[in-house]
Structure 1
Amino acid sequence: MGFLGIVLALALLVGLAFRGWSVLLLAPAAALVAAAFGGEPLLASLTQRFMPGAAGFLAQFFPLFLLGALFGKLMDDSGSVAAIAQTLTQRLGARRAAPAVVLAGAVVTYGGVSLFVAFFVLVPMAKAVFRAADTPRRLMPAALILGTSTFTMTALPGSPAIQNAIPMPFFGTTPYAAPGLGLLAAVVMLAGGLAWLTYAQGRARKAGEGYGGVERQAPAAGDPDVRERAVTARDFDTAELERGASAASAPGFLAAVAPLAVVIAVNLAMSLVVLPRIDASFLAEPRWGGATLSDVAGVWSVAAALAAGTAALVAIHWTRLSNLKRSMDAGANASVLPALSVCSLVGFGAVIAGLPAFGLVRDAVLDLPGGPLVSLAAATNVLAALTGSASGGLTIALEALGPTYVDLAARHAVDPALLHRVAVIGSGTLDILPHNGAVVSLLALCGCGHKESYGDIVMVGIVPSVAALAVVIAVGTVAGAF
């Protein structure tokens, strides 16, 4: 009965979330269904398992949600995201429409801009450059997914994406875990995605297919359906995009990209230079939670980088931010609902992991052939696919199995940095299934449907990511983390 309860709870969570129900309600309700089938006390499951799991995640990662959303909103209101996208698309020209959109998305997201901020700015520009090149509009979502949701999110070392931060407290790693393997994975993802886009464009050109006919009306940022899918999928409440105060004109390219450079530089310096040299022995005291530097170094690095980037952004674009208070309030507010939504998924995972029947699931995962790297990749893939959320699936997997993998890594002499990179890349593969909130919202923004565009999303988002994951596991097994 306990195993049946886990299956029913997952079905309830996935099915109703796909129909637009709030995860804030679904996760505790599904957790209680699983607890009831497992014969566990319901109130104790809610207060002693669900809430500590959710609160623990919030305590660790809320600074990153807050600073990331704030930085993204200020980049948007200052006109910097638009300036970067416009410059890159103009420089590459209409003949390279797809690579221009991929590059623009990669620059802004690797620099720390939230995914949905990038979507709402990049889609109109992508439409313009695809129309000028007479490139099929149906390829636009694939180009945007490749640039924003693959190698910059899971593979490039130092990425400030929340997915790259989640494994750090579990494995004692930094955002630059296994940088060589991360770069290798990024090359596989980017090369594979661009190869497919080039092939698809060539095939369309031979068939005489142009930009396309009448577009569907794109939803507004505050549309309730878009908002619900966005907060489950990523780290920004799209309703706040309509608030704040946007700049009247875009800045120059160098001024626009400077805050992104600050984020990258500070993240690198904190991870590799500053934090390894400080005396953090005070963290072992009870008043600081009895922690070690490895428990907090990764979060400190990303938080410091986003804070420094925000400060640089305000200093550079002070005159453009016509109502700084309103913009900052909107950015702060944009972090709350996504953070709580992921916390709710984490609480659900904590209840599931505490059920006696979960032992069957754990043993089945750990007994997969190929060792801990293969089983970790499978666990993150499956949970990200079920939840439609890379961050949610990754956190559930690590909350339930993280300590087990740390023990297995020590027993098999596997570098925790390799576990980190495999877990992150694994979370960003099958999360891009048709019910993923980012996919559904992006298709609506582009005026496309699943039937015409989702196949190309699979070929640039899922296939190269799975290939990159296989390469990292194979190379990491032979050569270790580097």
Structure 2
Amino acid sequence: MSFVIILAALVFLMFVAYRGHSVILFAPVAALGAVLLTAPDLVAPMFTGLFMEKMAGFLKLYFPVFLLGAVFGKVVEMSGFSKSIVSAVVRLAGKQQAIFSIVAVCGLLTYGGVSLFVVVFAVYPFAAEIFRQSGLPKRLIPATIALGAFTFTMDALPGTPQIQNIIPIPFFKTNAYAAPWLGSIGAVFILAVGLFYLHWRSRRAVAAGEGYGENLLQEPEPFAGERMANPCVALLPLVLVGVLNKILTTAVPKMYGETHSFIPSVVGKAAPVSQEIAKVAAIWAVEGALLGGILTVLVCAWKPVRARFAEGSKAAIGGALLASMNTASEYGFGAVIAALPGFLVVAEALKSIPHPLINEAVTVTSLAGITGSASGGLGIALAAMGDTFAQNALAAGIPLEVVHRVAAMASGGMDTLPHNGAVITLLTVTGLTHRQAYGDIFVITCIKTVAVLFVIAVYQVTGLV
């Protein structure tokens, strides 16, 4: 019965999200409904002590990233840089390469360490412009961005700095480059199959005369400047964000050490404020990189941005508030569901799968799907069963590098169900609904999930690591 309750909560939340209702409202309703049916006396404590605690903690860490990411995307749009880059891409590669171009830009940013949430804000203006010029339907933009940012560069390619590739390291004593051959093969599989699917969908839409679409929401404003910037200048802020993020990721821990504390300058005795730098270094690096990107746009295109900055920044702030609150609500939902007895039933049932790698893959992707979070599901799975995964793999003669890669890739499988925070953010930013665009995102999700089984099969046949 406890399992049925968490399953019902999950299905309910996916249903209301798909129907276009606010996740900010219904995530706590779904979570606390499950608590009510499991332990009624824990509804209030769970809401205040877990749901709100996790929700507030997420906003405390990540709202500045959402805000700066939204402002960065907006100034790139208002400066005309997005139109300049798109025009250059169209000239060089042709309009038929619109999908590949956006996937490539997303992949480069994500592999460079830029948060996938930031990538959504930064790339959307480019994607909207190139899809409009190419006559491709806007409803394919979310799936295109998802392929570039949520898949192969997030956890498959060896060395990716994304959190999904970092979480397994302490559990298996590996590094970010674990199983480079398998990771690269998985990345090629995802990219090839994903591009084939999206191009097939776009050809069908063009053949049907669908076009970009009309009466759409969240459309980037057309550039009203006299002339467009040089494409190299327009690319500079985007490149700078990736480079600065990489530099600051290394520099911040060196500058502040393992911990840093200060005493606020207030009247009377004040307790020192201490922070563990390891927990915030990556966040500070992204924030610094985005600030650098915004300042670069302002320096290079002050005149066109200045005239519309007040209204444009208000729109960006509104989008950041909505996107971050949606995602934070999902985070709180996942925390409550993971604390219920039904979640343990799922975890125990998954242990019965015999093959070590398939057991790990199914467990991780199932928990990521239930919690609506790749990093959340992966963290929960490894904290509860990491030692078991490692022991079973070693007993079967499987290197822990392979266990690392399978765990990382599996976390980015079924996590992108309709209630996933990144999916909701992506749809919010692009102004589309689940009904309009989620079907294609789900196919990308399925391709990513199948890729994990493909990598396991390659290892079994070839022994490649």
Gaps in structure 1 of 5+ consecutive residues = 223-237
**How far apart in 1 are the matches of 2:73 and 2:248?**
21
Structure 2 contact 28–329 (Cα < 8 Å) conserved: yes
Q: State percent identity of aligned pairs.
A: 30
Structure 1 contact 383–397 (Cα < 8 Å) conserved: yes
**How far apart in 2 are the matches of 1:474 and 1:279?**
44
Cα offset, 1:259, TM superposition: 1.1
Cα offset, 1:84, TM superposition: 1.8
Structure 1 contact 165–298 (Cα < 8 Å) conserved: no
Cα offset, 1:91, TM superposition: 0.5
Cα offset, 1:178, TM superposition: 3.2
TM alignment of 1:399-418, pairs within 5 A: 400-401=380-381, 403-404=383-384
Structure 1 contact 82–121 (Cα < 8 Å) conserved: yes
Q: Scaled by the length of structure 1, what TM-score is found?
A: 0.71
Please say if 1:190 is aligned against 2:191: yes
Give the aligned partner of residue 471 of structure 1: 455
**How far apart in 2 are the matches of 1:444 and 1:68?**
16
One-letter code aligned to 2:38:
G
Give the aligned partner of residue 311 of structure 1: 295
Please say if 1:294 is aligned against 2:278: yes
Give the aligned partner of residue 177 of structure 1: 176
**How far apart in 2 are the matches of 1:434 and 1:98?**
23
Give the aligned partner of residue 377 of structure 2: 397
TM alignment of 1:225-236, pairs within 5 A: none
Structure 2 contact 68–290 (Cα < 8 Å) conserved: yes
Structure 2 contact 158–176 (Cα < 8 Å) conserved: yes
| Range 68-77 or range 27-36, more displaced | 68-77
Cα offset, 1:258, TM superposition: 0.7
Q: Scaled by the length of structure 2, what TM-score is found?
A: 0.73
Change (3 A) 1:440 1:386: farther
Gaps in structure 2 of 5+ consecutive residues = 263-270
Give the aligned partner of residue 209 of structure 2: 213
**How far apart in 2 are the matches of 1:439 and 1:363?**
33
One-letter code aligned to 1:73:
K
TM alignment of 1:71-470, pairs within 5 A: 71-94=72-95, 96=97, 99-100=100-101, 102-103=103-104, 106=107, 114-115=119-120, 118-119=123-124, 121-129=126-134, 146-147=147-148, 149-155=150-156, 164-165=162-163, 177-178=176-177, 180=180, 184-195=185-196, 200=200, 211-213=207-209, 215=211, 217-222=213-218, 249-271=227-249, 273-275=250-252, 277-278=254-255, 280-283=257-260, 287-288=272-273, 291=276, 293-322=277-306, 323-371=308-356, 374=358, 377-379=361-363, 381-382=365-366, 385=369, 392-398=372-378, 400-401=380-381, 403-404=383-384, 425-430=409-414, 462-463=446-447, 466-467=450-451, 470=454
Please say if 1:21 is aligned against 2:5: no
One-letter code aligned to 1:324:
F
One-letter code aligned to 2:322:
L
Cα offset, 1:317, TM superposition: 2.4
2:193 aligns to what SS in structure 1? helix
Change (3 A) 1:343 1:449: closer
**How far apart in 2 are the matches of 1:247 and 1:153?**
36
Root-mean-square deviation (CA), in Å? 4.8
**How far apart in 2 are the matches of 1:437 and 1:289?**
34
Cα offset, 1:254, TM superposition: 0.7
Change (3 A) 1:92 1:335: same
Q: Deviations over 1:321-374 (max 9, x none)?
A: 124344334333322221111211121222222223332122223444444x65
Change (3 A) 1:468 1:339: same
1:320 aligns to what SS in structure 2? helix
Structure 1 contact 172–294 (Cα < 8 Å) conserved: no
**How far apart in 2 are the matches of 1:108 and 1:21?**
31
Change (3 A) 1:401 1:155: closer
Cα offset, 1:28, TM superposition: 1.0
